[in-house]
Amino acid sequence: MDPRTSGESAPCRRERWGRRPRWVLLVLLLATSASLRPARAAGDDLVVSVYQGVCREGDFAANLATARTVVEEAHARGSHFVALPECFLSGYESVEAVQRGARPLDDPELAGFIEESASHEMVVLVGLARKAKDGLYNSVLVIARGRLLGVYDKVMLTGGDREVLGFKPGTAVPVFSAHGVRFAAIICHDSSFPHAAMVARLQGATLLFSPHNNEIGAEVADGHRLAVRNCHVGLASQLKMVVARANIVKSDREGRIGYGDSFVLSPQGTPIAEAGLFRTELVTARVARSLLETPSAWADDGEVPAWLRTQLAQMLTEFRRPPGDAALKTWLENMIVHHRFAPREVSAATGLTIQEVRDASRRLGLEGAKPEPRRPEEPLLVLPYPGGRHPRIGFLDGAVMPQRETKLSVFTPWDDASYVVVDVPEAVFSNLGLIYLAHTHVPMIWDAKGVALPRLEWRRDEDGSFHGERTLPNGIAFGADVAPSPSGVRMGLWLRNGTDERLTGLRVQNCVMLAGARGFAAQTNANKVFRAPYAAARSQDGRRWVVTAWEPNQRCWGNPDCPCLHSDPQFPDCEPGETVRLRGWLSFYEGDDLDGELERIDQSGWRE
């Protein structure tokens, strides 16, 4: 660890700050910088300055005075842009400081500062706790030529931002243009994620400002510094942007330090200029415009193929946000109470943030809720599989973005936290080719035509049965009916030929995925029995079984990597306008007489 960031050296730093007034440090900075002041940029270079210094907590007037001095110095250096740290004008240390220093955009002192920018052509970016009619925002004001160009509000709030300081999250990533370059701002925790910066880059921004206000526990400061710098290096090099970070320095609270480490990075992620640690300094970098215009020698975003861009976009938006509180409660109960999803998994399935998941769970009375015990005479519990957690352990490349509209979870009778996921149907083949696949892997005939199939959901009846139906672009329709009972689950598939041609080779894959059932997750086929039409998997302790069957049956098998069971049927050939059907079964068994159990299932009439 750098001794300047260690817990042992922090008291020395605090003592030195305590003996010397902060305004003296600023005067020293500006006095000593005169001899180091670079000349105005030669040629067409872009000059970018970032300020690293002390923020007076809650003292708007003092911080505004510092900002004016910094702007004057940046102007003297020929800067096109100057950025100051997060919440610099207001303070960020505590809710009291934030409330004292917060200002609305129509504040007279702030308006005067904005008007002063008419005297130069620089763009000034400064952080403020911004009061608005609907709440408080952690904002960067973008100021140029006597007016406010716009505001960026921090999107990725920390728990402290939200719960302690009372900030609301931003909902947009604006991009601005000045001095022949498009630029944007993110704030502190935003830089821990690629999303906001990527949105800016996709709007054409090549210059990204990242103001911070990092006051960190001394014992973790060095690790934090490395992580934050590496995040910015990643953003710069992956998105091919010039990234400019402005942070505070501070050491007046026991055990906490603001270390600085402000910098300007090239699109290769290398420093063009940097301030170092624990120093009040205005960092100025000359940025050759060629860095903003020429792609990296090693990669160009235009090389990324369309399918990969499309898949990324689909994966980022694969979640399904429940419409309204009634649907939200149903899905949260499904995920949290029954499937035991963690907040991160619920977030992936719903698009809610982790904090929104926690808030909704409390508000809807689901925090700590447990499922009602199932009585033996009641049907097996069947629920739509919500997504957000992959139902496989392995062979994940064979099931990218699994769709939930064909998947149902059937919970075991012996453990209310264990379930198998039935994919019905997983795939439908025909003489036309692969006409349906419930995930991304082998292309369907629709993929070649550029036709996307719409998302669907299961329909649930009052008796607990489920029904799903899909009509394909060529008029073929198919559907599934699933009805639980105390002894098992009866399943049916139907297909209607809406084309003018006879359909043949109508093979179906129906998958039973075992990863969610305790004791059945071994990636092997040694614990499985295939006796057409039955496919069965034995638990690790040898006492329990999962059994499935479909008829007319064309193949029983299992994929040990998933792991899963298949009893795959085949529809009869189907004439135009005709409907054909299949019958299926799923059940659980405790005991060591599998032969006797299969005979009992045979006599249950599941084929009818």
Is 213:55 a contact under the CB 8 Å cutoff? Answer: yes
Q: What is the pLDDT of residues 62-85, one digit of tens each?
A: 999 999 999 999 999 999 999 999
Place of tokens 């949105």: 199
* pLDDT beyond 80 at 167: yes
* pLDDT beyond 60 at 373: yes
CATH 1.10.10 fits 374-602, yes or no: no
Q: What is the pLDDT of residues 245-265, one digit of tens each?
A: 999 998 777 888 889 999 999
Q: What is the dihedral of CA 217, 220, 223, 227, to 10 degrees?
A: -50
Reading the block at residue 144, the tokens are: 């140029």
* pLDDT beyond 60 at 11: no
Which pLDDT score is estimated for 27?
A: 36
Tell me the average pLDDT across 44-65: 95
* pLDDT beyond 60 at 392: yes
- Which H or E run contains 582? strand 579-590
Tell me the average pLDDT across 301-315: 86
Tell me the average pLDDT across 422-436: 97
Q: What is the pLDDT of residues 106-137, one digit of tens each?
A: 999 999 999 999 999 999 999 999 999 999 99
* pLDDT beyond 90 at 571: yes
Which pLDDT score is estimated for 251?
A: 77
With H, G, I as helix, E, B as strand and everything else as coil, classify residue 68.
helix
Average pLDDT in the chain: 90
With cut-offs at 50, 70 and 90, classify the pLDDT of residue 13: very low
Phi, psi (deg, nearest 5) at residue 544: -135, 155
More confident: 365 or 298: 365
Which pLDDT score is estimated for 1?
A: 33
* pLDDT beyond 80 at 39: no
* pLDDT beyond 70 at 601: yes
Range(s) within the chain of domains with CATH label 3.60.110.10: 3-292
Q: What is the rounded distance in angstroms from the CA atom of residue 102 to the CA atom of residue 141? A: 13
Write down the number of H helices and E strands in the chain: 15, 31
Residue count of the chain, please give it: 608
- Give the range among 299-303, 536-540, 557-561 with minimum mean pLDDT: 299-303
Which pLDDT score is estimated for 298?
A: 67
Q: What is the rounded distance in angstroms from the CA atom of residue 323 to the CA atom of residue 327? A: 6
Q: What is the pLDDT of residues 497-547, one digit of tens each?
A: 999 999 999 999 999 999 999 999 999 999 999 999 999 999 999 999 999
Range(s) within the chain of domains with CATH label 2.70.98: 374-602
* pLDDT beyond 70 at 25: no
Residue type for position 57? E
Q: What is the rounded distance in angstroms from the CA atom of residue 481 to the CA atom of residue 459? A: 10
With cut-offs at 50, 70 and 90, classify the pLDDT of residue 296: low
- Give the range among 298-312, 325-339, 419-433, 580-594 with minimum mean pLDDT: 298-312
Q: What is the share, in percent, of the chain residues with pLDDT greater than 70?
A: 92
Strand 544-551 vs strand 579-590: parallel, antiparallel, or unpaired?
A: antiparallel
With cut-offs at 50, 70 and 90, classify the pLDDT of residue 440: confident
With H, G, I as helix, E, B as strand and everything else as coil, classify residue 341.
coil
Tell me the average pLDDT across 436-465: 93
What single string gives the DSSP state of each residue in 221-249? Answer: HHHHHHHHHHHHHHHHHHHT-EEEEE-BE
* pLDDT beyond 80 at 22: no
Q: Is 258 exposed, middle or buried (0-12, 13-18, 19+ CB in 10 A)?
A: buried
With cut-offs at 50, 70 and 90, classify the pLDDT of residue 353: very high
> Peptide bond before 402: cis, by omega within 30 degrees of 0?
no
With H, G, I as helix, E, B as strand and everything else as coil, classify residue 251.
strand
State the CB neighbour count (10 A cutoff) for residue 509.
Answer: 21
With cut-offs at 50, 70 and 90, classify the pLDDT of residue 438: very high
With cut-offs at 50, 70 and 90, classify the pLDDT of residue 303: confident
Tell me the average pLDDT across 448-471: 94
More confident: 577 or 308: 577
Residue 306 β-bridge partners = none
Reading the block at residue 368, the tokens are: 């700590």
Could you please state the CATH topology (level 3) that the domain comprising 3-292 is classified under: Nitrilase/N-carbamoyl-D-aminoacid amidohydrolase (3.60.110)
